[in-house]
């Protein structure tokens, strides 16, 4: 069983959808779990109301994309369970292990007033994984060190107090599209980008999507050629079109004589790919009672799945009566 999370540090965008969410809906097994990691979004300065709205939008997008509500939950709805298990794991983790986390060093470098949660969140991530009994965690290279910490903590707890936790392993995530920023193809499309003009959000209206793609950076040439190193802007458009139509970038390159024609084709492909997701997401966001029902049910199932592990861990470490 795999567990994957998405942090609502911004609104879901095309890169999230083509690169991960769509693949989760199509290729994930019935046992895989997906959560909205809103607690992780609190490690830096944030607006509480905006965070709540982004968490709801992310949840709606996952469900609208075809992921079963049975397999989705919001992290903060398990705040009590995760808080208790995080403390247990912090009592199992050494300072040296936490201090070696590269992501903390990179994100804290040069920053004033760094929050302690940025230092300790890898232990919370371990709690996310271990509470649900995940055996596999799809992560990129930047997060693999955190999964190694979860493995170390699971093994140490099991050896010291008794067998409770499945020891997870990091696996390569399902291959998805590589989507770059439309105004700066040297960087990936990001929901937290300071320039929204280069980001297509899942809930963007069709006309706005068309305008953004028509303004996408290309190069001084005129004929579309798939050359990621020499022509990254055009390659990005070709990769987006290929992902939306389930074809290869080189195949679609030969079908368009000009950059203008390519952009029009990309715009229409993106509009159609996102249309059902946008419409269903809008429906869910327009029905707060239904979204709240989905969220409450997801939290109850996630809590039930982890209840016996948490209770066993607390009992074995001496925090509750045996």
- Is position 296 annotated as part of the catalytic site? no
**Candidate list 2, 50, 105, 188, residue with the active-site label:** 188
Can you give the pLDDT at residue 279?
98
Our answer to whether residue 191 is catalytic in this structure is yes
Q: Give me the pLDDT at residue 321, please.
A: 55
Label each residue of the chain as H, E or C.
CEEEEECCCCCCEHHHHHHHHHHHHHHCCCCCEEEECCCHHHHCCCCHHHHHHHHHHHHHHHHHCCCCHHHEEEHHHHHHHHHHHHHHHHCCCCHHHHHCCHHHHHHHCCCCCCCHHHHHHHHHHHHHHHHCCCCEEECCHHHHHHHHHHHHHHHHHHHHCCCCCCCCEEECCCCCCCCECCCCCCCECCCCCCCHHHCCECCCCHHHHHHHHHCCCCCCCCCCCCCCCCCHHHHHHHHHHHHHHCCCHHHHHCCCCCHHHHHHHHHHHHHHHHHHHHHHHHHHHCCHHHHHHHHHHHHHHHHHHHHHHHHHHHHHHCCCCC
Look at 104 and 16; give whichever has higher pLDDT: 16
Counting other chains too, the contacts that 294-301 makes at CB distance below 8 Å and 24 or more residues apart are 294/59, 294/63, 294/69, 294/72, 295/56, 295/59, 295/73, 295/74, 295/77, 296/77, 297/69, 298/59, 298/69, 298/70, 298/72, 298/73, 298/74, 298/77, 299/73, 299/74, 299/77, 299/78, 301/70, 301/73
Residue 64, pLDDT above cutoff 60: yes
State yes or no: pLDDT of 173 exceeds 80: no
Of the chain, the percentage scoring pLDDT greater than 90 comes to 78
Residue 111 pLDDT more than 90? no
Mean pLDDT of 68-87: 97
Mean pLDDT across 184-201: 89
Choosing from 2, 50, 105, 107, which is the catalytic residue?
A: 107
Predicted local confidence at residue 175, as pLDDT: 60
d(CA 73, CA 296): 8
Q: Decide: 212 and 203 in contact? Cβ < 8 Å.
A: no
For 119-150, what is each residue's pLDDT tens digit? 899 999 999 999 999 999 998 877 889 999 99
Determine which one of 191, 212, 263, 296 is catalytic: 191
More confident residue, 178 or 209: 209
- Mean pLDDT over each residue of the chain, to the nearest integer: 93
pLDDT of residue 176: 64
The yes-or-no verdict on residue 160 having pLDDT over 70 is yes
Q: Is the pTM of this model over 0.85?
A: yes
239-295 tens-digit pLDDT? 999 999 999 999 999 899 899 999 999 999 999 999 999 999 999 999 999 999 999
Q: Which of 101-105, 178-182, 269-273 has the lowest mean pLDDT?
A: 101-105
Neighbour-count burial of 297, counting CB atoms closer than 10 A to its CB (0-12 exposed, 13-18 middle, 19+ buried): middle
Q: When comparing pLDDT for 244 and 28, which is higher?
A: 244
């Amino acid at each position: 069983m795999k567990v994957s999370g998405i942090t609502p540090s911004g609104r879901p965008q095309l890169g999230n959808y083509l690169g991960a969410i769509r693949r989760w809906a199509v290729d994930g097994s019935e046992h895989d779990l997906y959560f909205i990691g809103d607690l992780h979004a609190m490690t830096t300065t944030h607006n509480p109301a905006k965070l709540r709205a982004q968490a709801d939008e992310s949840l709606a997008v996952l469900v609208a994309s075809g992921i079963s509500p049975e397999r989705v939950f919001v992290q903060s709805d398990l705040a009590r369970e995760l808080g208790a298990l995080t403390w247990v794991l912090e009592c199992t983790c050494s300072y040296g292990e936490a201090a070696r986390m590269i992501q903390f060093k990179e994100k804290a470098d040069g920053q004033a007033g760094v929050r302690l949660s940025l230092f300790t969140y890898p232990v919370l991530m371990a709690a996310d994984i271990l509470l649900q009994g995940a055996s596999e965690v799809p992560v990129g290279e930047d997060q693999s060190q955190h999964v190694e910490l979860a493995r170390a903590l699971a093994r140490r707890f099991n050896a010291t107090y008794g067998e409770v936790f499945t020891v997870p392993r990091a696996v390569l995530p399902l291959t998805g599209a590589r989507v770059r920023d439309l105004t700066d193809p040297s960087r990936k499309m990001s929901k937290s980008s300071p320039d929204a003009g280069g980001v297509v959000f899942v809930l963007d209206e069709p006309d706005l999507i068309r305008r953004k793609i028509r303004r996408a950076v290309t190069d001084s040439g005129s004929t579309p050629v798939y050359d990621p190193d020499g022509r990254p802007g055009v390659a990005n458009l070709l990769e987006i079109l290929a992902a939306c139509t389930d074809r290869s970038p080189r195949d679609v390159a030969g079908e368009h004589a000009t950059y203008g024609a390519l952009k029009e084709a990309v715009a229409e492909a993106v509009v159609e790919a996102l249309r059902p997701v946008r419409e269903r997401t809008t429906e869910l966001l327009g029905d707060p009672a239904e979204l709240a029902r989905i969220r409450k049910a997801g939290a109850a199932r996630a809590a039930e799945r982890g209840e016996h592990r948490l209770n066993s861990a607390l009992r074995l470490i001496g925090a509750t009566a045996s």
